[in-house]
Structure 1
Amino acid sequence: MAGFERQYVSNLVPGNPAVLRILLIAVAVVNSATLGYDASVMNGLSILPSYTEYFHLNDATTGLNNAAVWIGSILGIALVQPIPDRYGRKNAILIATIITVIGIILQAAAQNIAMFVVGRIIIGLGTVLSNVSAPPLLAELLPPRSRSYVLGIFFSCFYVGGLLSAIINYGSQDIQSTWAWRLPSLLQFIPSLIAICLLPFVPESPRWLIANGHEEHATEVLAVLNGASGDDSLVNAAAEMHDIKSTIAREAAAYPRNPWKELLSTPSNKKRVIILVLFGVMTEAVGNFIVSYYLTRILSQAGITDTYRQTQINVIIQCWAFAVAIAGSFLLDVIGRRLQTLMGMVGMTVTLYILGALIKVYGDSTETSKNYGILAVIFLFQASYSFSITPMTSLYPTEICQYKLRAAGTAVFRGVDVALGLVMSFTMSFAMSDLGWKFYLINASWNLVLTALVWFYFVETKGLQLEEIALKFGDNFITEGYDNSVEGTGGRPPKGQLD
């Protein structure tokens, strides 16, 4: 690269910002795909007789196998703030990937339920660490104009892993041995392997480097991110680094204590915690959990019981959800976070009411048209979730928290998410068996409550710099040195400030 010789940033990191942005999108895709594969692999395995017969599954053991990954995620919550904050965002992703691969090997080699559950627990620990480490790395490397859609794409690519899992399950169902379920389990390592291969090509977060005293390294990263091409590139990057350092210093002065203690220290942070908890509940409790983990149960209630047909539908629904989620990612800065979430909540509530009614009336029908009418409603429900909640999952918790509280705040969000996932893994199978069609009406009524809470608490962040988002929460200290006089912009941060 012309202008300076790299001392800290690897020569593998491209100097072209456009190429680097593509690599960062790839990091988002593969880390999210790992999560999606893991969630969907259990859905696919539950369809395969070779899996259910090998472990002699019933409602209790099915719930345990599904719950194991959530147990691991809860155990991992204690690590998701200190590891990325202490060792760096990149190293945290590497650690998470290694942990996940170990769990995958144990799951695929399982000889009994205990071994399978232990493998799932280890996978849960690795995936929650990856899911908390990767979004901050992307947010702190990307310019504001790219942050929204890339972080939206991050969790939208959950469905890439889900689609890969569904296709592999569909292809392995004819294997006449336990490899019918072991192969889909083992191939879960593919996204993890790709994630490890991509890490050398992306830099560490400049904000993390500055916060941990590596200012020369941070300056070099900023020069690379800006496409340094002249002798003055390091000088410009140093000025940019100074702006970021000043912002971090003001945050540290305002929040001097441990991040966990600061989360409830001010009214603005308490509001953030309310939103993080509410959104954590929404990611699992709006009806999506049953589509992700109990699709075969829904299809059976709808009268679609053939294994081949169920696996085909699983593949198609993953493709559909992915396409809708990508569209939702690019519309977040058009429609707005709050409005798009409200639209999705209304859509999910209505479709769940309709689904419950149709299953009650036509669930025992053998008429194809009636069965597929129910299936159409399932697709509409999945579209509502994928359009609204999916692209918000990695974006919203990341952008509403300041740098110092970002890892801790995301950990709160994930903690609620995985805790509720654990509870639902144990209870959902029994609830669906005992309540039948009434289950969907109860879930829809619960969604009405969540929709009202979104209306009252969610803050619109469309088109705002992170400093402006902080202003909406009442963090006035962050605006020292903030230029609020630029006409038509609503205020801008000092020149060069990434965040």
Structure 2
Amino acid sequence: MVNNAGIVGASLADVLPSTNKFWFQEPHLLKLNLILLVPMLSSSAFGYDASLMNALQSLEQWRGYFGDPKGALLGTVIASQSIGCLIALPIVGDFCDRFGRKPVLLVGILIICAAAAIQGAAVNLPMFIVCRLLVGFGGIFSSQPSPMLIAELAYPTHRGKYTSAYWTLFYLGSILSSWTTFGTKDIPNDWSWRIPSILQAGYPLIQLLFIWWMPELPRWLVAKDRHHEAAAILQMYHAGICDPDADLSPLVATELAEISHAIKMQQEANLVGWWALISTPGNRKRTIIAIAVGDFAQWNGVSVVSYFLNSVLNSVGVTSAYTQTLINGLLQLFNFFAAASAALLVDRLGRRTLFLWSSVGMLVSYVIWTACSAVNDETGS
């Protein structure tokens, strides 16, 4: 039995309703968890793009149509998605605070759908690059508000698993793109790469169909002095109470109090200024950890495998399009199951333990990979 106090904190653990039912036997929790799949799928757009570019580089049809881009030009094609992300980052936070998380998510979904359709119709490399830039721009508008929606809307005891599982669905996108491209690789014309490009809109279209049933973020509503709406959402999805005139359940009352306190603390923190991040030894340590964790997540080499697997496989002597696309597809399946396992274990083993052990595993993998590349360079096999 997992200790709820260790997961949600003592204050929430004391007011959690006691039940012997599984979550899917509770209608309000079943509905909530199905609705949460809408923001959960936002990470799939990034996963789809990462595996898509891996697979497209293995297709002779794509290389031939766009003049076999290499070196700096290939790097530009791949980096264009990240450039779109960088353009969107400075403004998306303000948009979320001003208009709410749900509208921003909707805008991101629409941009990705439009960009995927145009990318599938690209007639030259500049057009393809611009579409990838738009995918990155829309991807930030889709992915930035989604973790907040998940963390706020998820039932307290489910929150850790859901937030950890968010990037697990990155590989759901990778699975779709890798196996789609594996299936279209033998099409003898440019539809071999146009079909996977168009299907990049697949998961966003699913989100578009069901986003209308998703509520707004309670924290945002409280910050806008719309307390009654925030309470109604939490009552419906956390307590199963649909009567707007009913008394607040102890759980919802506690959650609203915590949200109000967090907003007050945030407002007070905004008055302090950025200097507070490094003003004391404790703050400096926390700031360094926060920056380092983000950097480590991006500099751990995963992007090499995500976007340049084709080049990596060529470096170890694997050059067949069939073999490369097959490896790409199998790798995404392995990644998905590994990430899902970690998400399910996060409340039992802790985030730090999983972080350290996965880092050790990646280090060992890169040592083996480097050795294999060196042997192939010297012997050709």
Q: Could you tell me how far 1:269 is from its partner in structure 2?
A: 5.8
The CA distance in 1 between the partners of 2:369 and 2:270, in whole Å, is: 51
Contact 1:93 1:130 in 2 (8 A): yes
Q: Could you tell me how far 1:111 is from its partner in structure 2?
A: 1.6
Q: Could you tell me how far 1:149 is from its partner in structure 2?
A: 0.8
Q: Could you tell me how far 1:298 is from its partner in structure 2?
A: 1.4
The CA distance in 1 between the partners of 2:139 and 2:243, in whole Å, is: 41
Residue 263 to residue 142, structure 1, CA distance change in 2 (3 Å): farther
Contact 1:90 1:204 in 2 (8 A): yes
Check if 1:223 corresponds to 2:243.
no
Q: 2:96 aligns with which of 84, 89, 110?
A: 84
The CA distance in 2 between the partners of 1:63 and 1:120, in whole Å, is: 13
The CA distance in 2 between the partners of 1:179 and 1:170, in whole Å, is: 13
TM-score norm. by structure 2 comes to 0.85
Amino acid at match of 2:37: A
Contact 2:232 2:242 in 1 (8 A): no
Q: 2:146 aligns with which of 134, 137, 151?
A: 134
TM-score norm. by structure 1 comes to 0.66
1:229-308 matches, within 5 Å, as: 233-236=246-249, 239-240=253-254, 243-244=257-258, 246-257=260-271, 261=274, 264=277, 267=280, 271-308=285-322
Residue 212 to residue 198, structure 1, CA distance change in 2 (3 Å): same
Residue 353 to residue 265, structure 1, CA distance change in 2 (3 Å): closer
Amino acid at match of 2:55: G
Check if 1:46 corresponds to 2:48.
no
The CA distance in 2 between the partners of 1:73 and 1:253, in whole Å, is: 28
Check if 1:73 corresponds to 2:85.
yes
The CA distance in 2 between the partners of 1:253 and 1:50, in whole Å, is: 55
Q: Deviations over 1:172-203 (max 9, x none)?
A: 11112211111111110011111111212221
Report the equivalent of 2:135: 123
Amino acid at match of 1:133: P
| Greater helix proportion | 2
Contact 1:65 1:117 in 2 (8 A): yes
Q: Deviations over 1:414-459 (max 9, x none)?
A: xxxxxxxxxxxxxxxxxxxxxxxxxxxxxxxxxxxxxxxxxxxxxx
The CA distance in 1 between the partners of 2:283 and 2:227, in whole Å, is: 29
Q: Could you tell me how far 1:167 is from its partner in structure 2?
A: 0.9
Contact 1:44 1:169 in 2 (8 A): yes
Residue 266 to residue 104, structure 1, CA distance change in 2 (3 Å): farther
Amino acid at match of 2:91: L
Q: Could you tell me how far 1:74 is from its partner in structure 2?
A: 0.5
The CA distance in 2 between the partners of 1:231 and 1:104, in whole Å, is: 42
Contact 1:106 1:118 in 2 (8 A): no
The CA distance in 2 between the partners of 1:84 and 1:353, in whole Å, is: 42
1:155-166 matches, within 5 Å, as: 155-166=167-178
The CA distance in 2 between the partners of 1:241 and 1:361, in whole Å, is: 58
The alignment's C-alpha RMSD in Å is 2.4
SS in 2 for 1:204: coil
1:184-203 matches, within 5 Å, as: 184-203=196-215
Residue 231 to residue 211, structure 1, CA distance change in 2 (3 Å): closer
Q: Deviations over 1:453-481 (max 9, x none)?
A: xxxxxxxxxxxxxxxxxxxxxxxxxxxxx
Q: Could you tell me how far 1:72 is from its partner in structure 2?
A: 0.5
Contact 1:138 1:151 in 2 (8 A): yes
Percent identity of the aligned residues?
32
SS in 1 for 2:277: coil
Check if 1:177 corresponds to 2:192.
no
Report the equivalent of 2:106: 94
Q: Deviations over 1:264-313 (max 9, x none)?
A: 37656654543332222222211211110111111112221111111111
Report the equivalent of 1:106: 118
Contact 1:301 1:364 in 2 (8 A): no
The CA distance in 1 between the partners of 2:343 and 2:58, in whole Å, is: 31
Q: Deviations over 1:18-54 (max 9, x none)?
A: 2233224422442121121011111111111111111
The CA distance in 2 between the partners of 1:29 and 1:366, in whole Å, is: 44
The CA distance in 2 between the partners of 1:81 and 1:114, in whole Å, is: 29
The CA distance in 2 between the partners of 1:242 and 1:292, in whole Å, is: 41
Q: Could you tell me how far 1:362 is from its partner in structure 2?
A: 4.2
Number of aligned residues: 352
1:406-417 matches, within 5 Å, as: none
Q: Could you tell me how far 1:229 is from its partner in structure 2?
A: 5.9
The CA distance in 2 between the partners of 1:269 and 1:122, in whole Å, is: 37
SS in 1 for 2:188: coil
Q: 1:337 aligns with which of 351, 354, 358?
A: 351
Residue 249 to residue 189, structure 1, CA distance change in 2 (3 Å): closer
Residue 193 to residue 272, structure 1, CA distance change in 2 (3 Å): farther
Contact 1:23 1:198 in 2 (8 A): no
Contact 2:40 2:150 in 1 (8 A): no
Contact 1:223 1:233 in 2 (8 A): no
Residue 272 to residue 107, structure 1, CA distance change in 2 (3 Å): farther
The CA distance in 1 between the partners of 2:45 and 2:333, in whole Å, is: 16
Check if 1:361 corresponds to 2:375.
yes
- Which shifted more, 269-278 or 296-305? 269-278
1:416-431 matches, within 5 Å, as: none
Q: 2:218 aligns with which of 169, 192, 206?
A: 206
The CA distance in 2 between the partners of 1:71 and 1:95, in whole Å, is: 18
SS in 1 for 2:249: helix
Contact 2:81 2:133 in 1 (8 A): yes
The CA distance in 1 between the partners of 2:171 and 2:51, in whole Å, is: 9
Q: Deviations over 1:313-335 (max 9, x none)?
A: 11111101101110011111122
The CA distance in 2 between the partners of 1:128 and 1:106, in whole Å, is: 19
SS in 1 for 2:336: helix
SS in 1 for 2:264: helix
Report the equivalent of 1:37: 48
1:363-378 matches, within 5 Å, as: none
- Which shifted more, 307-316 or 247-256? 247-256
